[in-house]
Structure 1
């Protein structure tokens, strides 16, 4: 059995689509889409970040981060490194050193289905990192094996190499590349309409009247 599998680097999401995604909120897309959102336990280590990019996937087992270190040398500007921990929630594979290396490569963010560590160093690097909280026990270069640029599971969502990844304070969304632009444009339009509704509310209108909810309640009394 082959210890390591390293697939080809995926085609990257265009800069135009990335720019559109970074204007969209995951929670806006969540108004109509019901798949692609990773488990809400995976949250941003830093607040106030919204980034999008191309998924580069890694699977690493238990206490080993050998392949993760290798993958950092393959990252390109615009990539989001997505790490499947194969169920391990004890060992932090991502800390200060990995953060510095990922940022130096031009990566947009890291998404880990497991804990991270070295929060102060992550904050100092101002690098968007998403994971399942913090842990003090770290991985090591044990050479156990792993897989890169294969389908992985992150927070209950299948992530394919080359998928679009959108991360913000509300969570992480995975989109097939051919659906990313349409979803981003729909979100931007809905956000603009939402601002108009908020303006109407500040001027005295009732949200239930605007949305039609009040009419439905009154009709059902």
Structure 2
């Protein structure tokens, strides 16, 4: 008999925190944080604007998509659907139909540690998907088991239900909800300083080697 595990829905992130996260570049946070980043091969199917939301986790075995189809009916507005494929790299678990269903439920994106399919349909729907590329072979309803709203592993990063997820063109970052606001604010401040520095470098007012401290290290000055 197939075993299914369904955890309690996690608390949704504060919309004000989500708004801050949507302004924070994953690559900016990557200057000081070295954990919580999903493997870079989990990438956007298409260039996308930055999205952020609450992790709604799903775990699927092999070529079975039963739990995912069930989970779609429980997604909430603002969720990021996060799918652990348990090492399967052959079967696409999300295509055009499931992308439309996730979007209709209010999900803001999907992050899949495996391939997806139906690129044209996903593009037409305008639903942001991060995954390990495309595959023509898909999951089916085989009743093999699975889990929903449990801890999962996505591209080497542990994702807990309710974690904050930021997805942009540089990659995917997972943050504990209690750390999300502080990290977002630090990133936004860092980005503002960086933009001003870039403006002054472009105007010839500053030299990057001097600003970064690299020149002093090379010359010993």
User: How much is the aligned-residue C-alpha RMSD, in angstroms?
Assistant: 1.0
Counterpart for residue 31 of structure 1: 31
C-alpha distance after superposition, 1:46-86 (max 9, x if no partner): 20321000001000111100010000000000000100000
Shift of 1:216: 1.4
C-alpha distance after superposition, 1:83-108 (max 9, x if no partner): 00000000000100110000000101
SS of aligned partner of 1:115: coil
Q: Does 1:126 align with 2:93?
A: no
Runs (4+) of structure 1 moved beyond 6 Å?
none
Counterpart for residue 218 of structure 1: 219
C-alpha distance after superposition, 1:108-162 (max 9, x if no partner): 1000000000000110011110000000000001111101111000001110000
Distance in structure 1 (CA, Å) of the matches to 2:2 and 2:160? 21
Distance in structure 2 (CA, Å) of the matches to 1:59 and 1:128? 20
Counterpart for residue 114 of structure 1: 114
Please list, as runs of the form range in 1=range in 2, the aligned pairs for 1:39-188 lying within 5 A after superposition.
39-188=39-188
SS of aligned partner of 1:81: strand
Distance in structure 2 (CA, Å) of the matches to 1:83 and 1:193? 36
Distance in structure 2 (CA, Å) of the matches to 1:57 and 1:2? 19
Distance in structure 1 (CA, Å) of the matches to 2:57 and 2:203? 48
TM-score (norm 2): 0.98
Distance in structure 2 (CA, Å) of the matches to 1:48 and 1:143? 34
Q: Does 1:207 align with 2:208?
A: yes
Counterpart for residue 10 of structure 2: 10
SS of aligned partner of 1:73: helix
Distance in structure 1 (CA, Å) of the matches to 2:48 and 2:68? 26
Shift of 1:16: 0.3
Shift of 1:2: 6.3
Shift of 1:206: 1.3
SS of aligned partner of 1:58: strand
TM-score (norm 1): 0.98
User: Is contact 2:112-2:130 (8 Å) kept?
Assistant: yes
User: Is contact 2:4-2:147 (8 Å) kept?
Assistant: yes
Distance in structure 2 (CA, Å) of the matches to 1:203 and 1:111? 40
Alignment coverage as a number of residue pairs: 220
SS of aligned partner of 1:55: strand
